[in-house]
Amino acid sequence: MRFEEIGWNGFLIRVPEEMHLTRQGGDANKGTFIIESENSFIEFYWNPIPKRQKPLLSIVDQITERIEKEAKKKRLKFTSERSDTIINDHKAIYLLLNYGVEERYYVWQCPESNRVIAVRLVFKTYGEKERNIVKQLMGTIKCHMDGDNVWSLMKVRFEAPRSFLLRSAEFGVGRSHIELAESNISMLEDFERMIYVCYFPLANVRFKDVYKDPEKWFDNVYLKDFTRILRKRKVKFEFKDKAKIMGHEAIIKQAEMTSGLLTRTSGLCSAAFWYCPETNRMYFVALNTYVSKPVILKRRIERTEHERLFGRILESFQCH
């Protein structure tokens, strides 16, 4: 069995490669995701640790009671077992519920990421293979990171500061994207940074004439879409540099933006794009830094900080 890494919302896990992320919602503070294959179902859900801390046991009781009630309604025989365990150095509770179907739960608190985490595992049958999946998954799971968060899925991997939260994600046949945002809104200024990662499969077919010339692809095909994502009518990107990303030549462009009457908006957007023959995908990675302040105040973008972060994201990027 081959395992693959998934990095999502501050979790880094290993699951068999035939398992895929099928549903997801929320962000690193509160959210859920589901990983499935034909014979298995794994659900993660997490919430911030409440101010008045609840003992883990009460959460485990809640889960048990809910399932027991359901089972009784259907007149199914119900049993439960629980034991203490350790997950990623945190004290955890393992719970096994059986009502004809076996459901396994791991529940723990991660103070480092300030969340209460529950993992629910259901398998069609439970044998050697499934035992191994659980052992690999729960034995190697990371529920908090020391440095940047790792975002890793479908052969794409990059790192971003933990202050960036997931704003939207979509995995489609034609295109996939991950949008992260960090915001700081106050009386005097709105400050926001956005990381936008996007890729298009089957590039040599869909972008037959331009996939070998990423600059052309961006100018002629993708710029219009991305302008809409930036909520602008027109953005002028200028050539900035070239970079090597996993052996591919990437084009880097940059745009500066100003607009507004009563408040002036100042934006700086850096974008990199390239073709990856290994996956036959077009890749697009952007960082948008945006400041909006009343006109009397000086507006300023921390240009060096912006460029340093963009470089850090690109350096961590893996496209195949």
Q: 60, 95, 110, 169: which one contacts Zn ion (CB under 5 A)?
A: 110
Q: Residue 43 and residue 165: Cα distance in Å, rounded?
A: 20
Q: Is 155 in the site for Zn ion (CB under 5 A)?
A: no
Cβ 245 to Zn ion shortest distance, Å: 7
- The H helix count followed by the E strand count for the chain is 6, 18
Smallest separation (angstroms) from Zn ion to the CB of 115 = 8
Q: How distant, in Å, are the alpha carbons of 179, 202, 267 from that of 284?
A: 12, 15, 19
Using rule CB under 5 A, residue 276 touches Zn ion: yes
320 is a site residue for Zn ion (CB under 5 A)? yes
The nearer residue to Zn ion, 271 or 276, going by C-beta atoms, is: 276
**Least Cβ distance, residue 35 to Zn ion (angstroms):** 19
Q: Binder to Zn ion among 143, 195, 252, 314 (CB under 5 A)?
A: 143
Q: Which two tokens stand for residue 61?
A: 């009781």
- Decide if residue 319 touches Zn ion (CB under 5 A): yes
* Spatial CA neighbour of 64 closest among 34, 115, 103, 121: 103
Residues 6 or more apart from 51 whose CB is under 8 A from it? none
Residue 299 touching Zn ion (CB under 5 A): no
Enter the tokens of residue 89.
């150095």
The residue range among 64-72, 163-171, 200-208, 273-281 that interacts with Zn ion, by the rule CB under 5 A, is: 273-281
Q: 17-46: which residues touch Zn ion (CB under 5 A)?
A: none
DSSP assignments along 41-66, one per residue: EEEEEEEEPPSSPPPHHHHHHHHHHH
How many residues belong to the site for Zn ion (CB under 5 A)? 10
Residues that bind Zn ion (CB under 5 A): 88, 110, 112, 143-144, 246, 276, 278, 319-320
